[in-house]
Amino acid sequence: MNKTAALFVEAVSKYSSIVIYIPGSPDPDAIASAYVIKVILKYHLIESDIITEKSLSLPQNQAFTNRLKIPVIFGKDINLEKYNAYIVPDFQSNRIEYIGDSIPCAAHLDHHGESTNSVKADFSLIRTDAGSTSTLVALILKNLDIAFSEKDLTAMATALTFGLQTDTDKYNHITSLDLEALGFLLEFADKSILQEISSMPISPETFLYYNKAKGNEVVYKDWAFYGTGYIDAKNRDSIAITADMILEKTDHNTVAVFAVIEDHNKGEMYLDVSLRTKSNTVDLNKFIKQITSNGGGRRYKGAYQVELSYFLDTPDRDMLWNAIESTTLETLRKSRDALYAAGIKDIYDSVKHKIISFLKKDRGFR
């Protein structure tokens, strides 16, 4: 067992019951990582549950969870008396509002940038050189001295492969660390299940939102923005897929697709913005953090949310959308310019520092 795997086992072994908590939208990377952590805990005789704040909205994600029989509990409420620690996979911050300081964080694993809003964890593995959190969990799995059953090993490898595939945009943005993980996973993954899940068609609802977004295009310099109006919570992942589809078919450097998500059953409403870029130099995490702490990004993609539940019962939905749309567009424009201005200043400061260092070293400059 290598050092990282050993430290993970040491951290979780302090506890007898752990909740694996997925904040935000549960995508395949988060679900796969949580599932494999749960199985690892089982082999160490540690009880655990996977809880996610939001339900699955994409048919592909539902099929993924059902096909591999991944046990997920949906909802924000946690019986804190049942657990003595928690784990957060695939999310920038491991600070959970509903948990607070009630129980400690046993582990935090993520492949996005560092968060200033995180709390101390017994084990923390944050690697931005990984294309997915599934990659990090796979490398821990690879180095564990555990005799997993063939059934469990196949299910874990299949889940992690799908999580890795999804978050690297079908291997288009794969890293050397991802390749190392894949070399291990593909030896055990069920390729027929992966093919079955991956070949599922895009839903009609997603195509509807895609066409609506294209009709509302607003171009700003080398970026483009697309508002789609109100979307029911059960279709919220269509925003991210729409952003992927638009970026693939456009010449714009960076795109943002946004909508107001409504969940009347839960009494929730929020703005959801998905960003995608073709640029190696656009720092979407920095861009998002200029706007809000409720979101984050990594290379090529990111997202953020703004709470709007106070307006759920507005008597004039058109007026509300117009206000949200115009404000979002202006925020995106200003934040885009601020990001580029900061980048230019960083380049200037770097060049200035190199010139001064050169003069001091080679010219005797004082």
CATH code, domain carrying 29: 3.90.1640.10
Kindly report whether the global pTM for this prediction surpasses the value 0.85: no
Query: What share of the chain in percent tops pLDDT 90?
Result: 69
Higher pLDDT, 322 or 96: 322
With beta carbons less than 8 A apart as the criterion, state whether 54 and 27 touch: no
Other Cβ atoms closer than 10 A to 137: 30
Domain end residue (candidates: 150, 176, 198): 198
With beta carbons less than 8 A apart as the criterion, state whether 179 and 171 touch: no
Examine the domain organization and report whether 224 and 186 are in the same domain: no
Examine the domain organization and report whether 98 and 157 are in the same domain: yes
Question: What is the number of domains present in the chain?
Answer: 2
Angstrom distance (rounded) from CA 194 to CA 174 = 18
CATH code, domain carrying 323: 3.10.310.40
Angstrom distance (rounded) from CA 40 to CA 46 = 9
For residue 365, with 0-12 CB atoms within 10 Å meaning exposed, 13-18 middle and 19 or more buried, which class applies? exposed
Burial state string for 6-34 with b = 16 or more CB within 10 A and e = fewer than 16: ebbbebbeebeebbbbbbbbbbbbbbbbb
Angstrom distance (rounded) from CA 107 to CA 86 = 7
Angstrom distance (rounded) from CA 291 to CA 182 = 35
Domain end residue (candidates: 131, 164, 198): 198
Examine the domain organization and report whether 214 and 191 are in the same domain: no
Specify the 3-state DSSP secondary structure of 8: helix
Here the tokens at position 133 are: 């959190």
Examine the domain organization and report whether 246 and 276 are in the same domain: yes
Examine the domain organization and report whether 304 and 189 are in the same domain: no
Q: In this structure, is residue 366 part of a structural domain? A: no
Q: In this structure, is residue 315 part of a structural domain? A: yes
Q: What is the mean pLDDT of the chain?
A: 90
Using pLDDT thresholds of 50, 70 and 90, give the confidence band for residue 365. Answer: very low
Using pLDDT thresholds of 50, 70 and 90, give the confidence band for residue 68. Answer: very high
Strands across the sheet with 254-263, in order?
Answer: 217-220, 223-232, 254-263, 268-277, 301-307, 295-298
Q: In this structure, is residue 358 part of a structural domain? A: no
Examine the domain organization and report whether 163 and 237 are in the same domain: no
Q: In this structure, is residue 361 part of a structural domain? A: no
Domain end residue (candidates: 140, 165, 198): 198
Examine the domain organization and report whether 183 and 212 are in the same domain: no
Q: What is the pLDDT of residues 121-162, one digit of tens each?
A: 999 999 999 999 999 999 999 999 999 999 999 999 999 999
Using pLDDT thresholds of 50, 70 and 90, give the confidence band for residue 46. Answer: very high
The whole domain housing 107 covers 3-198
Using pLDDT thresholds of 50, 70 and 90, give the confidence band for residue 361. Answer: low
Examine the domain organization and report whether 191 and 253 are in the same domain: no
**CA of residue 292 relative to chain centroid, distance:** 16
Q: What is the pLDDT of residues 286-330, one digit of tens each?
A: 999 999 988 888 888 899 999 999 999 999 999 999 999 999 999
With beta carbons less than 8 A apart as the criterion, state whether 197 and 162 touch: yes
Angstrom distance (rounded) from CA 93 to CA 112 = 10
